[in-house]
Chains A and B, each alone.
Chain A
Amino acid sequence: MAIGVKVVERPIEETSYVRATLSGMGNTLRHLVRPHKVTTQYPEEREPLSRRWRGTHRMLTTEDGKAKCVACGLCPTVCPANCIKLVPGEDEQGNRYPLVFEIDEFRCIFCGYCQEVCPEEAIHVGRHYENSEYSRDGFVYDLERLTAQTHPVCEMWDPADPRGE
Chain B
Amino acid sequence: MADTPLVNLTIEGRPVSVPAGTSILEAAKTVGVLIPHYCYHPGLPVAGVCRMCLVDVEKAPKLAPACATAVAEGQVVHVHDEKAREARKGVLEMLLINHPLDCPICDQAGECELQDYTYQEGRADSRYREPKRFNPVEDFGGDVMYVPNRCILCTRCVRFMEDVAHDAVLNVSERGDRALIGKFEGKDLTHAWAGNVVDLCPVGALLSKDFLNKARSWELDRTASVCTGCSQGCNIIVETRDNTVVRLRPRSNAAVNEFFMCDHGRLNYRWMNRGDRLESPSILGAAGQQVVDWDVALAGAARVLKGKRILVLASSNLSNEAMFVLSRIAKASGGAGASRMVTGVEAPLPGVEDLALRADRTANGRGAELLGFTRSDAPLSGLAQGDAVIVADHDITPDDAALLAKASAVVLVSTVMPAGLPRADVVLPICNYLEEEGTLTNLRGHVQRFLQARAAPGMARPSWFVLADLANALGERMDVLTAGQVFALLASSHPDFAGLSHEALGLRGRPVAGATAGATS
Contacts and interface: CB of A to CB of B under 8 A. Distances in A.
B212 A90 contact: yes
B218 A70 contact: no
Given A72-B109, A73-B219, A88 B104 contact: no
A74 B215 CA distance: 12
A120 B104 CA distance: 8
A152 interface: no
A96 B109 contact: no
Contacts of B216: 72-73, 77, 88
A132 B294 CA distance: 49
A94 interface: yes
Given A90-B212, A94-B137, A119-B104, A77 B109 contact: no
A77 B213 contact: no
Contacts of A89: 213
Contacts of B109: 72
A119 B103 CA distance: 9
Interface in A108-143: 119-120
A71 interface: yes
B456 to A, nearest CB: 24
B124 interface: no
A123 to B, nearest CB: 12
B214 interface: yes
A72 B213 contact: no
A59 to B, nearest CB: 15
Secondary structure at the B interface, as helix, strand, loop or mixed, is loop
A90 B145 CA distance: 15
A122 B67 CA distance: 43
Contacts of B105: 70-72, 95-96
Contact of B213 (A74, A88, A119, A120): A88
A88 B216 CA distance: 9
Contact of B214 (A88, A94, A120): A88
Contacts of A72: 103-105, 109, 216
Interface residues of A, number: 14
Nearest to B102: A70
A71 B213 contact: yes
A85 to B, nearest CB: 11
Given A72-B104, A72-B109, A120-B104, A90 B213 contact: yes
A150 B213 CA distance: 30
Interface residues of B, number: 12
Secondary structure at the A interface, as helix, strand, loop or mixed, is loop
B104 A77 contact: no
Contacts of A73: 216, 218-219
Interface in B212-240: 212-216, 218-219
Contacts of B137: 94
B289 to A, nearest CB: 35
Contacts of A71: 105, 213
A119 B104 CA distance: 7
Interface in A46-93: 70-74, 77, 88-90
B219 A77 contact: yes
Interface string A91-110: 00011100000000000000
A74 B104 contact: yes
Contacts of A96: 105, 213
A96 B137 CA distance: 14
A90 B215 CA distance: 12
Nearest to A77: B218
A72 B108 CA distance: 11
Interface string A16-44: 00000000000000000000000000000
Nearest to B217: A73
A69 B401 CA distance: 54
B319 to A, nearest CB: 33
Contacts of B104: 70, 72, 74, 119-120
A119 B109 CA distance: 13
B109 to A, nearest CB: 7
Interface of B: 103-105, 109, 137, 212-216, 218-219
Closest 9 pairs between A and B when the two form their complex, measured CB to CB: A72-B104, A73-B216, A96-B105, A119-B104, A90-B213, A70-B105, A88-B213, A96-B213, A70-B104
Given A70-B104, A72-B104, A90-B212, 17 more contacts: A71-B213, A72-B103, A72-B216, A73-B216, A73-B218, A73-B219, A74-B104, A77-B216, A77-B219, A88-B213, A89-B213, A90-B213, A95-B105, A96-B105, A96-B213, A119-B103, A120-B104
27 contacts: A70-B104, A70-B105, A71-B213, A72-B103, A72-B104, A72-B105, A72-B109, A72-B216, A73-B216, A73-B218, A73-B219, A77-B216, A77-B218, A88-B213, A88-B214, A88-B215, A88-B216, A89-B213, A90-B212, A90-B213, A94-B137, A95-B105, A96-B105, A96-B213, A119-B103, A119-B104, A120-B104
